[in-house]
Amino acid sequence: MTADFVPPFPERATTRQPLLANIRKFRGNMLSVWLAGHYSADFFATRVLRRSIFVCNSPETVREAFVENGQAFERKSPQMRHALEPLLGDGLFVSDGLVWKERRRAVAPVTHVSRMAELTPTMSEVAGEWSARWATLAPGEDIDALEEMAEMTAEIICRTLFGHRLGSDAAQTVVRAFTGYQSRIGQTALGAMLRLPEWVPRFQGMGIKAEVRRIHAVLDRLIANVLAEEHEPSLVRAMAERGAMDATALRNEAATLFMAGHETTANTLSWCWYLLSQAPWAEARLAEEARAVLGGRVAEHADVEHLPYTRAVIEEALRLYPPVPVLAREAVAPAVIAGREVPVGSLVLVIPWLLHRNPNLWDAPDAFRPERFLGPPPPRYSYVPFSLGARVCTGQQFGLSEAVICLATLAQRFRLELRPGHAVMPVSRLTLRPGETLPMRLYPR
């Protein structure tokens, strides 16, 4: 192993900034509002306008908030609800209470770890198609790795959700509309910080309604076709057969699964390509492992457990650049964290971006070291890229298997180099991306 590679992160101020300056920072990149001292703090509180905010940044306070007091902090933050409700409606990601419980009972089993052998062949199929297409490109040809990974993971989740034939027709349409939605959605949530009533309309970005109509129209058509064709298995059919969900509920859960199963994995794989391009020792080790295990063929479900370094690269990318960098809840009942009273209406945050870089928990926390995930697992509640507690991501194993299969399949045959002169910087909107594009050059091995 050579010297550490420390990938980019926004500048960390050392002193508290004025409110307006923080609002500007938050609108541009929410990661930039955290001070240098926040990374090592176990627990801290602040206030923005009329809203009290409590941040848990140690395994003890994370457990206390999202596990021991999970019912008090079940509800997603107002900012997250208002950002996603236009698209997801009462989908699992933003709902709470009885609706959330009923939906989880219907949705969780369809992506359970016990179904991975059934679901992963689609991942292998698409990874093989991408490998074959990349083989037709000229050595050194420019690609946008972020767009490539977005389209690949969209193809996988669309075929999984709607069946092979229907999903293949819709993938590009849906992924582009999702990208447009995320680029336009508002970030500042001033209404939430002012504690305006829920019925007060919130301004969303220009073009949001058009993107929502576009996505909903495609999803509605696909669901109707899925339910009319009984012979082709799909997650939508599996959900429909498990519970009494009407067409709107099915659409909301399909949109939720698409967002969770496409956007987060695409970002993670994009970060992996960038990190590997800057860390030759890691890139060489991963490629060697993939070639030894796969021998030129496409990775399959049985191979996942035999690709530990590939998985370690993915887990380190998830540590450094968690796809959902802020887990925010609104207190619906009074509670106590670290001996402090948390009133109803407060926001309680677990921030993987901070927790995963806490120097009290991680050695060289800003450095890219996949090897840290080859030994014993990190302490519980110090690593939460898929959330935790009752609201832990139901598709965790789906996403990890997909990332391992795709990365190993492609990395054994290709390497990617960052286009000279391009500066990468993490940008957080709804999810954490390496900017708007990731221009790289593709070379066969």
Q: Which of these ranges, 77-81, 235-239, 409-413, has the smallest mean pLDDT?
A: 77-81
Confidence of residue 200 (pLDDT cuts 50, 70, 90): very low
Q: Measure CA 77 to chain center.
A: 17
Evaluate whether 370 touches 312 at the Cβ level (below 8 Å): yes
3-class DSSP assignment, residue 218: helix
Mean pLDDT of the chain: 88
Homologous superfamily in CATH for domain 19-444: Cytochrome P450 (1.10.630.10)
Evaluate whether 412 touches 290 at the Cβ level (below 8 Å): yes
Is pLDDT above 70 for 244?
Answer: no
What pLDDT shows up at residue 169? 67
Confidence of residue 243 (pLDDT cuts 50, 70, 90): low
Helix-strand-coil split of the chain, %, nearest 5: 55, 10, 35
pTM to 2 decimal places:
0.91
Q: In what order do the strands lie in the sheet with 43-48?
A: 43-48, 51-56, 347-350, 327-330, 75-76
The full set of domain ranges for the chain reads 19-444
Hey, which of 103-107, 228-232, 385-389 has the most confident mean pLDDT? Answer: 385-389
What pLDDT shows up at residue 309? 98
Map tokens 């959902």 to a residue.
324
